[in-house]
A and B are shown apart, each in its own frame.
Chain A
């Protein structure tokens, strides 16, 4: 079974080297998924018929997320902030290590 653990470790290493960075990326994509689907889940839960795709256009529940200038940009902006925070955090840590107080 050791070879299986080695393969798992190697494959995981392709995607994750800083756990908190990878987790933040996953959480952000989860948030986007929730925000795109939550309105439909809520109104469906409250009894609205689920075939929302047959509604006239004025009844679109996720207008903001399906607007070309909203959804994609919000997704990118979140990922950009996570990348910037991770790089700057590493940079601050490296500087603290290199300059003894």
Chain B
């Protein structure tokens, strides 16, 4: 296993999990600050527990399937997932769709929590909301970890470590700051993760189909550079006409 493979796996897994973690943290903070922390934290913890069981089951099942099939299927899903993120990040960077605003999401969630019925003792609304958001964002993290980890023998551990490190960082920041992480350049992160995941996906689909890559594993780095160059070009192309039309 080369460093090109190992390093990009850890970075991709860390960045993707960080972005998803920030989105989940915003909602859990909104729930906790309005409805109380006990039910919100129990909801989030239960979500994480269910996700861990899923990882163990899926991870074990994946090891029984031939690597070429796993690479091909996971590669196709990664290409779809990565290109979807990259497309959205390009459109956001070009100013064609609005940027994701954690502050606005926090405000929206806190006002929704205030209007929901209060229950003395065990708060089902708080528990359910925290559980749902943890499951939803966590499913994306799990998919990314499993997809990156399925690329070769022993890859699940570095991918898992990257994700675990990201979630620890997000949890620690949430605990210290007690407010949403508005300064995280989320679109830049999504841009980077989209490029990394699309590159991994393209590489694995090729591997699964039996195509040869120049430089073997190092072509992942080439793919990253190629997707990055293309994305930057597209941002420029999409921005230019808007500037011209606004100037006119």
Residues of chain A touching chain B, judged by Cβ–Cβ distance below 8 Å, are: 10-11, 14-18, 21-22, 25-26, 29, 32-33, 36, 65-69, 71-72, 75-76, 79-80, 82-84, 86-88, 90-91, 94-95, 98-99
Contacts and interface: CB of A to CB of B under 8 A. Distances in A.
10 contacts: A10-B139, A14-B81, A17-B84, A18-B87, A21-B83, A72-B213, A76-B226, A83-B234, A90-B96, A91-B241
Given A15-B81, A29-B76, A83 B230 contact: yes
A25 B79 contact: yes
Nearest to B205: A29
Give chain B's interface residue range (CB within 8 Å of chain A): 35 or more
Interface of B: 76-77, 79-81, 83-84, 86-88, 90-91, 94, 96, 136, 139-140, 143, 198, 202-203, 205-206, 209-215, 219, 223, 226-227, 230, 234, 237-238, 241-242, 245
A82 B83 CA distance: 10
Contact of B90 (A17, A80, A87): A87
A91 B210 contact: no
Interface of B is mostly: helix
B84 A11 contact: no
Contact of B211 (A71, A84, A88): A71
A15 B80 contact: yes
A27 B209 CA distance: 15
Nearest to A78: B202
A32 B80 CA distance: 16
Contacts of A69: 214
A65 B87 contact: no
B88 A26 contact: no
Given A22-B80, A88-B234, A91-B241, A83 B214 contact: no
